[in-house]
Amino acid sequence: MKKIGILTGGGDCPGLNAVIRAVVKKSLKYHWEVIGILDGWKGLIEGNILPLTAQHISGILPKGGTILGTSRTNPFKDQKNVDAVLSNMKKFKIDALIVIGGEDTLGVALKLYKLGVPVIGVPKTIDNDISGTDYTFGFDTAVSIVTDAIDRLHTTAESHHRIMVLEVMGRHAGWIATVSGIAGGADEILIPEIPFHIEDVCKNLKARHDSGKRFSIVVASEGAKPSDIDHFETLSEEKDEFGHVRLGGIGQRLAKEIEKRLGVETRFTVLGHVQRGGSPTAYDRVLATRYGVVAVELVKDGHFGKMVALRGYKIVPVDLTESVTKLRTVDMDLYNIATTFFAKPHNE
């Protein structure tokens, strides 16, 4: 009989509960116990746990968020917190730890693995920016929310003959902007991977309007940055425990500039945390469920220091090192597909 610990860390996303449910269900088949750790690494530092039974997971598959709670706590900010994590692993007799998180949370998991903690990682984030896997769960849901928003902005943009700027999440990688921009038919997509000139964006929009179109949709990742400015637009400079500031404001800045330069009425919308809330799509439920089941299988086989990953249609184990050392940025072939639909001035 084994005791598995499970935690969810970092920003929440739809599908976390589907993983928790799958881990508990699969573990119960082996007659193993599952200990839920509350609020990410904070719970393991403070010894805050919730033993999970079949009752806890009943009905949670379609529920957004995480029944375990989450936090952006980084135990490695203070050695005494690392010691607390190690001692609570012993105190609760946890044989294996399943860690569901993004780059930061999985980075902590890797460091703990190197200290001898048996960990398995599960990649989550709406940003889809974790290396080693084709997709993280949560991304598909975010893309469908953003696509719906673009569709809605289209009708009001058309009626008022306006330019609409939509700011979406994506700190270092523009996956959400690119994929939902393609799905929603955006006329310009700005992503962190490609610094842009506002002048070029305006030229493209002007070309579109000169061709007779009376509205446009611009989708911008929160981390998109004009090349002539050396800082990101932020809502707060205060850093979290992993050193991240709160991004935000590029949509407003762009809208102001576009209106000033083109003389076309322009509005901006910031989707913010709406993108991370609510029920996961069927795709995310299935992906999260597969991740959860395979994570338990890896525990059974003693394959620690791994992350479950989607490669093609298969779920496979990859080294945690591979997943946290490099960020997965937008595939330029995909971005180039999106640019096919941007208007260009005649001479370009």
Q: How many CB atoms lie within 10 A of CB 338?
A: 21
Beta bridge partners of residue 97, listed in sequence order: 5, 119
Q: Which of 157, 326, 129, 148 is nearest to 222 (CA)?
A: 129
Q: What is the rounded CA–CA span in Å between residue 319 and residue 51?
A: 28
Q: Which stretch binds ligand F6P (CB under 6 A): 52-60, 105-113, 121-129, 182-190?
A: 121-129
Total residues contacting ligand F6P by CB under 6 A comes to 12
Beta bridge partners of residue 50, listed in sequence order: 36
Q: How many CB atoms lie within 10 A of CB 132?
A: 25
Q: Which stretch binds ligand F6P (CB under 6 A): 22-30, 125-133, 200-208, 249-257?
A: 125-133
Q: Which stretch binds ligand F6P (CB under 6 A): 50-58, 168-176, 280-288, 309-317?
A: 168-176
State which residue, 110 or 146, has the beta carbon closest to ligand F6P.
146
To ligand F6P, the closest distance from the beta carbon of 51 in angstroms equals 28
**Binding of ligand F6P by 169 (CB under 6 A):** yes
Q: Which of 8, 75, 85 is nearest to 291 (CA)?
A: 8
State which residue, 99 or 299, has the beta carbon closest to ligand F6P.
99
To ligand F6P, the closest distance from the beta carbon of 146 in angstroms equals 12
State which residue, 3 or 72, has the beta carbon closest to ligand F6P.
72
Beta 314-319 vs 3-8: how paired, if at all? unpaired
**Binding of ligand F6P by 208 (CB under 6 A):** no
What is the C-alpha end-to-end distance of the chain, expressed in Å? 67
To ligand F6P, the closest distance from the beta carbon of 247 in angstroms equals 5
State which residue, 158 or 240, has the beta carbon closest to ligand F6P.
240
Give Cα separations from 198 to 40, 72, 116, 221 (angstroms). Answer: 40, 34, 50, 14
Judge whether 288 and 137 are in contact, CB under 8 Å. Answer: yes
**28 burial via Cβ count (<10 Å: 0-12, 13-18, 19+):** middle
Active-site residue 127, yes or no?
A: yes
Please tell me the chain's helix, strand, coil percentages from 3-state DSSP, rounded to the nearest 5: 45, 20, 35
| Contact residue for ligand F6P among 126, 288, 293, 330 (CB under 6 A) | 126
Q: Amino acid identity, residue 237?
A: E
Taking CB under 6 A as the rule, which mask of x and - marks residues 229-248 in contact with ligand F6P?
Answer: -----------------xx-
Taking CB under 6 A as the rule, which mask of x and - marks residues 1-40 in contact with ligand F6P?
Answer: ----------x-----------------------------
**Binding of ligand F6P by 146 (CB under 6 A):** no
| Residue 140 structure tokens | 């598909």
To ligand F6P, the closest distance from the beta carbon of 330 in angstroms equals 14
State which residue, 137 or 304, has the beta carbon closest to ligand F6P.
137
Q: Which stretch binds ligand F6P (CB under 6 A): 163-171, 226-234, 255-263, 296-304?
A: 163-171
State which residue, 176 or 295, has the beta carbon closest to ligand F6P.
176
Q: Which of 275, 273, 224, 277 is nearest to 249 (CA)?
A: 224
| Residue 226 structure tokens | 């004009």
| Contacting positions for ligand F6P (CB under 6 A) | 11, 102, 125-127, 169-171, 222, 246-247, 276
- Residues involved in catalysis: 127
